[in-house]
Amino acid sequence: MSSKTARPKQLVIVSGKGGTGKTSLTASFAQLNQRAQITTAIVDADVDASNLDLLLEPYDTQTEAFHAGVKASIDPALCIACGSCEEVCRFSAIRPPTAAGLEQGSNGAYTVDTLSCEGCAACQVVCPVEAISMQPQQAGVWHRSQTRFGPLYHASLFPGQENSGKLVTLVKQQARLHAQEEGLQLVLVDGPPGIGCPVISAFSGADLALIITEATLSGLSDLERILKTIRHFKLPAIVCINKFDLNPQGSRAIRQYAGQENLIVAGEIPYDPIFLEAVTNGKPVTDYESESPALQAIHTVWQKTLDHLWETN
Amino acid sequence: MSTFRIAVASGKGGTGKTTLAVNLAAAIARSQGNTPPLFLDCDVEAPDAHIFLKPAFDQSETVSLSIPAVDPQKCTYCGKCAQICQFHAIAVVGKNVMVFPQLCHACGACGLVCPEDAISEKDYPIGKLERGKAVNGISFARGLLQIGEPMAKPIIERLQKWALPLPGQTLILDAPPGTTCSVVETIRAANYLLLVTEPTPFGLHDLTLMLDLAGMLSIPHGVVINRGGDGSGIIEKLCQERQVPILLTIPFRREIAAGISQGELLVDMMPEYEQILLDLYETIQKSSQAVFETGRSSFQGGKA
């Protein structure tokens, strides 16, 4: 149909294994998009160890609080120390009064270990004297910034928090809304490592996943798990192999596996100290004027990935 | 003799957590007079330690969550279960109660509020545990999150209760990347936390977060710089400011990277690392002991 709405395409870069080069590649894609005049909203979905901002020199950053979930709080003035709350808590988050606490003047009330509390409110249900309330929690902050390559949506989950998936969903939603309003062509997502909650959140609404793996046995093992996860959610995927020349045999094994799985290899990027130099200087590697094979390989991977992305429905 | 529990974490992925953890385990196992340690791979989303320690798994167990099962004979569709559920894992739509297992935290609150006693529990599998003997007599266990399941934390918790160290056996916990609840679940009961970093702005940023977390949990900790080189100054400066010891710097060498990529142990490629890691082991044991004797500040992880 000719009246096809210009919904922005969404590309998510993932790896399973950490440290394979997701963030370096995302920053390079952001710059290559900008050079090719592909308007892009950029998302850092690795909300508990976010690094993309370190390569994109963000400015005009606006920050907002991220509230998620609740935690139990026991009013010591009302607590009768019956222990019902501790009995029902399945997260070992309720602590009985300790001898040391009593010495220090505690009146014997139970307390909540907020790092263990998952905010289920079971304790509140059983408390016979209504001493327990559920308190909203700030779990982090999220930011909207400008960069020379387009708007950046990023976040910082406070250390030790749950709800990373919710924060991923929030920053992605904000980026998508902005991209729609402004008629941008692409939402580019730097995904988190692993295959769990935040990764699954990063997949929602995506059109294509680019997996960046490395030519190691660990890379292959984690590639298998991330690919199964991607296929579980019925998302199209392609793969690229980073530092392929550190272990040419490992690289062949990955190509062979990709062949078996009908997974297209978008390219192989050789090991190049220029990556380290770029990270150290806080720039995308594509910022360097160089004819290096690594940069050429990134260009190939970028081109092939976008070709696939535009073809997705 | 009580168990010495060492956790290895990093914040940033790919800095060398597993490399340090498996080689430390091998060094301890190989030295005279030590019981081979118990190694737990707590990166249940992307576990890789088995590649280096080559365990022969001979036992496994399914990890399930207890999710609500609603008896339609007893249910009056009052909706109290859906009201109390903080995770939107149970919904009442007309004469239909829907449970969304992947949102459920298995807290039991719905069962507590049901006035008709219509809610019982059933097992919903989310992953599995495996264990067996690995190289050098190391006891090895790991958890695996099932593909498509979001919640890693309950598997890490169950793994630590399932594979228990023998009296006096050292425990090595290989943590997942990041700084979320899964990492807390892995490191909270540790006597010592080894933080592996790389000398880049990424490594520095995520190490800073991990130092905050280690401080929150009051776990004695020290830093290992991997792929060390000219850029290590930024890490040294942070550690000086925070008064955290740098225990070891492992230089970047292409042949080390190549060997690791094929599942080789550092202590096999460069035998001098056996003694280097044993020295590190001794240092952290002493330092954790010193903290213990001067009275550790109050954090005691849960009931576990």
Tell me what ipTM this predicted complex has. 0.94
Say if residue B299's pLDDT is above 80. no
pLDDT tens-place string over residues B84-104: 999 999 999 999 999 999 999
Measured CA to CA, the distance from residue B27 to residue A235 in angstroms comes to 43
A143 neighbors A154 (Cβ within 8 angstroms): yes
Tell me if residue B265 falls in helix, strand or coil. Answer: coil
- The answer, yes or no, to whether residue B300 has pLDDT greater than 50, is no
Among candidates A18, A54, A243 on the partner chain, residue whose Cβ is nearest the Cβ of B201: A54
Question: Is the CB of residue A112 less than 8 Å from the CB of residue A136?
Answer: no
Closest residue in B to A246 (Cα) is: B258
- Cβ–Cβ pairs < 8 A, chains A and B: 194
From A2-6, A127-131, A219-223, the region with the lowest mean pLDDT: A2-6
How large is the average pLDDT for residues A80-107?
89
The verdict on B185 touching A (C-beta cutoff 8 Å) is no
Mutate: best of B146, B202, B205, partner A, most A CBs <10 A: B202
Q: Taking Cα atoms as reference points, which of B34, B3, B32, B39 lies closest to residue B167? A: B3
- A216/B261 CB distance under 8 A: yes
The pLDDT of residue A291: 85
Residues of A whose CB is below 8 A from B303? 92
Least confident interval from A13-27, A91-105, A131-145, B226-240: A91-105
pLDDT score, position A100: 77
Q: What does A154-165 look like in DSSP terms, one character per residue?
A: EEEEPTT-S-HH
**For B110, which residue in chain A has the nearest alpha carbon?**
A122
The arithmetic mean of pLDDT across residues A71-91, rounded, is: 96
Judged on CB neighbours under 10 Å (0-12, 13-18, 19+), A224 is middle
pLDDT at position A19 over 50: yes
Model pLDDT for residues A174-212, shown as the tens digit of each residue: 999 999 999 999 999 999 999 999 999 999 999 999 999
Confidence label for B301 from pLDDT (cuts 50, 70 and 90): very low
CA dihedral A178, A183, A186, A190 (to 10 degrees): -10
Interface of B with A in 122-181 (CB under 8 A): 145, 147-153, 176-181
**CB-based contact A248:A215 (threshold 8 Å):** yes
Give the mean model confidence (pLDDT) for residues B119-148: 98
**Residue A50: closest CA among chain B residues belongs to which residue?**
B206
Q: Which of B151, B152, B261 sits opposite A217 (nearest CB)?
A: B261
pLDDT over 50 (residue A1)? no
Residue among A16, A165, A280 whose CB faces B150 most closely: A165
Residue A151 has pLDDT above 50, yes or no: yes
Contacts of A198 in chain B (CB under 8 A): 180
SS3 B56: strand
Tell me which chain A residues have a C-beta less than 8 angstroms from the C-beta of B298: 100
Which residue did the predictor score with more confidence, A290 or B28?
A: B28
Is B263's CB within 8 Å of A217's CB? Answer: yes
- Characterize the bridge pairing of strands A111-112 and A94-95: antiparallel
**Are A19 and B13 in contact (CB < 8 Å)?**
yes
Q: What is the mean pLDDT of chain A?
A: 94
Question: Is the separation of the CB atoms in A13 and A159 below 8 Å?
Answer: no
Looking at residue B67, its pLDDT comes to: 98
Give the pLDDT mean for A250-265: 97
Which pLDDT belongs to residue B292?
Answer: 62
Of B209, B260, B251, the C-alpha closest to B23 is B260
3-state secondary structure of A148: coil
Q: Supply the Cα-derived Rg of chain B in whole angstroms.
A: 22
pTM of the model: 0.94
Rounded-to-integer distance, Cα A252 and Cα B138, Å:
31
pLDDT at res. B293: 60
pLDDT of residue B298: 41
CA distance, residue B15 to nearest chain A CA (Å): 7
Mean pLDDT in residue range B231-247: 96
pLDDT band for B304, please (50, 70, 90 cuts): very low
> Most A CBs within 10 Å: which of B10, B20, B147, as the mutation test of the A interface?
B147
pLDDT tens digit sequence for A136-145 = 999 999 999 9
A23-28: average pLDDT? 98
Nearest Cα residue in chain B from A116: B302
Please indicate if any CB of chain A lies within 8 Å of the CB of B98: no
Say what the pLDDT of residue A9 is: 97
Q: What is the pLDDT of residue A192?
A: 97
Residues of B in contact with A225 (CB under 8 A): 45-46, 147
Q: Which residues pair with B140 in a beta bridge?
A: B39, B132
Residue type, A292: S
What mean pLDDT comes out for the span B237-253? Answer: 96
Give the pLDDT confidence score for residue B30 in this predicted structure: 96
Q: Give the model's confidence band at A102: pLDDT under 50 very low, under 70 low, under 90 confident, else very high.
A: confident
pLDDT at B4 over 90: yes
- The more confident residue out of B37 and B252 is B37
Smallest Cβ–Cβ distance between A157 and the set B112, B150, B180 belongs to: B180
Give the pLDDT confidence score for residue B11 in this predicted structure: 95
Q: Is the predicted pLDDT of residue A5 greater than 80, yes or no?
A: no
Do residues A288 and A278 lie in contact, with contact meaning Cβ atoms separated by under 8 Å?
A: yes
With beta carbons less than 8 A apart as the criterion, state whether A72 and A93 touch.
yes
Instruction: Label residue B233 by pLDDT band (50, 70, 90).
Output: very high
Q: Give percent of chain A with pLDDT exceeding 70.
A: 98
Q: To probe the interface with B, which of A14, A47, A166, A197 has the most B CB atoms within 10 Å?
A: A197
Average pLDDT over residues A72-99: 95
Query: How much is the pLDDT for A103?
Result: 77
The SS3 assignment for A52 reads: coil
Q: Is the pLDDT of residue B19 over 90?
A: yes
Average pLDDT, chain B: 94
From residue B47, alpha-carbon distances to A147, B53, B240 in Å are 35, 12, 33
